[in-house]
Amino acid sequence: MYKKVKACRICGNPNLKLFLTLGNIPLPNGFLTKNQLSKPEKYFPLNACLCEKCGLVQLQEIVNPNEMFKNYVYIPSTSKTRMNNFSEIAEYANKNFKLNHNSLVIDIGSNDGSLLSYFKGYGIKTLGIDPAVNLAKIAELKGITTINNYITPVLAKKIYKKYGQANVITATNVVAHIDNLYDLFKSVEILLGVNGVFICEFPYLLDLIKNNQFDTIYHEHLSYFSIKPLIKLTSRVNLELFDVFRSNIDGGSLRVVFKKKNIKLEINAKIKKLLDNENNYGLYNFSTYQKFAKRVKHVSDNLQKTLKKIKKQGKTIAGYGAAAKGNILLNYCHINDKLIDYIVDSTPYKQGLFTPGTHIPIFPEAEIMKTKPDYILILAWNFAFEIMDKEKKYKVQGGKFIIPVPKVTIN
């Protein structure tokens, strides 16, 4: 069901240095039905390591992807912030790479077709690729043709034969899910037209470490990217990094843009600046990660203490956003249905289910104004502004928000 990583997936270094042990935790999107609550759950180890050679932070164990991605409950269209970010990506690509009605955009990990819908809105041809059977069906209903599979060089050749080459390939929050990065880049090389670009977005390791975002470390995310290992990766493929943007999405993300090596395009000086910044911060020193691990323990202890104190005062606490990261936070910090009464989430597929490991029921968002808990723990802290804005009325009526990272704060 899971295997131990033998060597760094980018540079092959066998000596990966363990810095964080989050323990055995169920899969972060492994929500349970009421009937499943009494049955034994599957737990998987969660250990993070640093490759001191190329700088890639990665998990020590890899769960079989079919356990996680064949039936996927997460959909991006539940957040305005995320949809705005998708709209921005489509606008950027459309403007900068002169797309037209004959252009093709392929999205790897296309989920329910949310990102591609924006490209479709510009009249551009689209094609999604995603292994989740349930989501591919939803995307098809929206008119987004979706290949229901994992991307591989073999599949890429088939797609190339049927649909031709793409002007733009996108991959948002999915590169971290993929074990064989060289196969991914090989697939992109096959599918990308001569002047095409490959746009990837993922949470930025520097922000994760600086802001104690330990709960984004989970089984689905095999790698945690920064500039240095990406450059190392491209030294072995025919793609080159030429532009980069930092965005606030998901607590701080990097949007990176690759082109084919033989195409002459200016390499943005921001790439070198970010690399220098990473080195100056000590992002490739093991001691940075040892300090991070200590801070993680401190945040966790503090959160537990805060919630227990509130509970002792006879007050009620609900959670907001049954996010994958939320499930890591709850399990690692031992926060269960004794501390949190319920969690609200706008995703229809999560409502009526229970959180993995901690067994907290999930309700629609309206439950907040129905029961008016004294405190809300924002588990989807990456959308704290959006959530607090949506629940203004709750706040006006005396409700309080707890945000767990970078440090426990009460608003």
Q: Where are the alpha helices (DSSP H) in 192-285?
A: 205-210, 227-234, 270-281
- The interface region with ligand DWN, picked from 14-22, 133-141, 183-191, 383-391 by CB under 6 A, is 383-391
Report how many residues bind ligand DWN under the rule CB under 6 A.
21
Site for ligand DWN contains 380 (CB under 6 A):
yes
Pick from 74, 118, 185, 198 the residue near ligand DWN by CB under 6 A.
Answer: 74
Which residues share a beta bridge with 317?
375
In this chain, which residue has its C-beta nearest to ligand DWN? Answer: 321
Q: How far apart are CA 80 and CA 309, in angstroms?
A: 34
- The footprint of ligand DWN on residues 155-174 (CB under 6 A) is 173
Cβ proximity to ligand DWN: between 167 and 346 the closer is: 346
Q: How far apart are CA 297 and CA 351, in angstroms?
A: 31
Q: Please count the other Cβ atoms lying within 10 Å of the Cβ belonging to residue 37.
A: 11
Q: How far apart are CA 380 and CA 384, in angstroms?
A: 7
Q: How far is the CB of 125 from ligand DWN (least distance, A)?
A: 25
The pattern of x and - marking residues 189 through 228 that bind ligand DWN according to CB under 6 A reads -------------------------------x--------
Q: How far apart are CA 340 and CA 333, in angstroms?
A: 12
Tell me which residue of 406, 31, 46, 114 sits closest to 252, measured CA to CA. 406
The pattern of x and - marking residues 105 through 144 that bind ligand DWN according to CB under 6 A reads ----------------------------------------
Q: How far apart are CA 28 and CA 354, in angstroms?
A: 12
The pattern of x and - marking residues 327 through 356 that bind ligand DWN according to CB under 6 A reads ------------------xxx--x------
- The interface region with ligand DWN, picked from 302-310, 352-360, 370-378, 379-387 by CB under 6 A, is 379-387
Supply 91's token pair. 């606008």
Tell me, letter by letter, the H, E, C secondary structure of 269-319: CHHHHHHHHHHHHCCCCHHHHHHHHHHHHHHHHHHHHHHHHHHHCCCCEEE
Site for ligand DWN contains 324 (CB under 6 A):
yes
Q: Where on the chain is the footprint of ligand DWN (CB under 6 A)?
A: 74, 78-79, 173, 220, 321-325, 345-347, 350, 365, 380, 382-383, 386-387, 390
